[in-house]
Amino acid sequence: MPVVVSVVGTSKVGKTTFLEKLIPELRRRGYRIGTIKHDVHDSFALDQEGKDTWRHRQAGAETVAISSPSRVGLTKQVREELSLDSLAALYFQDEDLVLTEGYKGGNRPKIEICRKERQTQPICSEKDGLVAVVSDFPTGGGVPCLPLEDVGRVADFIEERFLEGRSEPKIVVRLDGKKLPMKSFVKDFVMGGILGMISALRGYGEPSRVDITIRIKR
């Protein structure tokens, strides 16, 4: 299961803008990142009106997926909102960290974005799961207050608090798209064999990720 941390704050305080800076910084450090946007107003619109997937849903399909060689998207009708734990378990097994935008009423650790032009104090407290505030003014209180413009400090905090040991090399093997479970010693054996064989190839360098696709003719 990935670590889940919720980035919260008042409307239009800059949560999305901050996540756009934080995600690449954490990726640069070797972590796999997923995100979940909480739509409290139920204005959900992933597929555009008139597109094929929208027409499928309008025709009555409860689950609609679109797949390409590099991406997959899915919409699914649900009888009640899925919990963060359920979403993480179902769709984010390969990630080290899931950052949510919103979920201030959820049960996961929260980092609140504060701007002095929008508020005078955080809307969450430690009893709500608040672990840090990212702000352009001193907020006081019992949790760290990190500079709004210093995304590296926030990444340091998340790394030290939640991600210790998760940036180690990983290997994921999929057979026809399905993840193959492997024990640690098998992962080490496969990774060592692959890296050992390709390290002598021209252009190997020091990669942070290696993708190999094998198509088997039947």
- The confidence score (pLDDT) of residue 170 equals 67
Residue 153 and residue 86 in one domain: yes
- The confidence score (pLDDT) of residue 168 equals 56
Residue 155 and residue 47 in one domain: yes
**Any idea how long the chain is?**
218
Residue 33 and residue 48 in one domain: yes
Q: For residue 122, give its domain range.
A: 3-162
- The confidence score (pLDDT) of residue 19 equals 96
Q: Output the pTM of the full model.
A: 0.72
Number of domains in the chain: 2
- The confidence score (pLDDT) of residue 133 equals 97
Residue 154 and residue 104 in one domain: yes
Q: State the Cα–Cα distance between residues 113 and 8, nearest whole angstrom.
A: 6
User: Which residues in the chain show pLDDT less than 50?
Assistant: none
The tens digit of pLDDT for each residue in 111-159 reads 999 999 999 899 999 999 999 999 999 998 789 999 999 999 999 999 9
Residue 101 and residue 151 in one domain: yes
The tens digit of pLDDT for each residue in 49-59 reads 888 888 898 98
